[in-house]
């Protein structure tokens, strides 16, 4: 599944504490987990949309968790369970 356009909420887009790449990660998570509280994410899914490595994804998820946008749990290398706030 290839997503052509990611929608990032305005409050996230205007937040200066969030790096540019992290905003796209959050937009992808929202598009996949629309109207859901728990999303299962694999780094391979994101790599189909834009260039990212597992280390970059984990850093982005850490930033979003520290800013209380989501909570994530690392199950194995490259597999995550995410709960949106």
Q: How do residues 35-81 score in pLDDT, each as one tens digit?
A: 676 778 888 888 888 889 989 999 999 999 999 999 999 888 778 88
pLDDT at residue 62 in the model: 96
Pairing of strands 70-76, 38-42: unpaired
Output the CA–CA distances (angstroms, integers) from residue 29 to 55, 85, in the order listed: 17, 12
- Terminal CA-CA length for the chain: 25
Question: Residue 40's beta-bridge partner residues?
Answer: 81
Q: Which has the higher per-residue pLDDT, 20 or 40?
A: 20
Task: Sketch out the chain's domains with CATH numbers.
Answer: 10-84 (1.10.10)
């Amino acid at each position: 599944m290839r997503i052509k356009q990611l929608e990032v909420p305005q409050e996230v887009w205007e937040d200066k504490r969030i790096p540019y790449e992290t905003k796209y990660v959050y937009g992808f998570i929202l598009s996949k987990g629309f109207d859901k509280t728990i999303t299962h994410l694999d780094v391979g899914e994101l790599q189909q949309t834009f260039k990212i490595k597992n280390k970059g994804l984990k850093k982005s998820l850490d930033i979003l968790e520290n800013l209380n946008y989501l909570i994530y749990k690392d199950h194995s290398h490259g597999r995550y369970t995410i709960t949106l706030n």
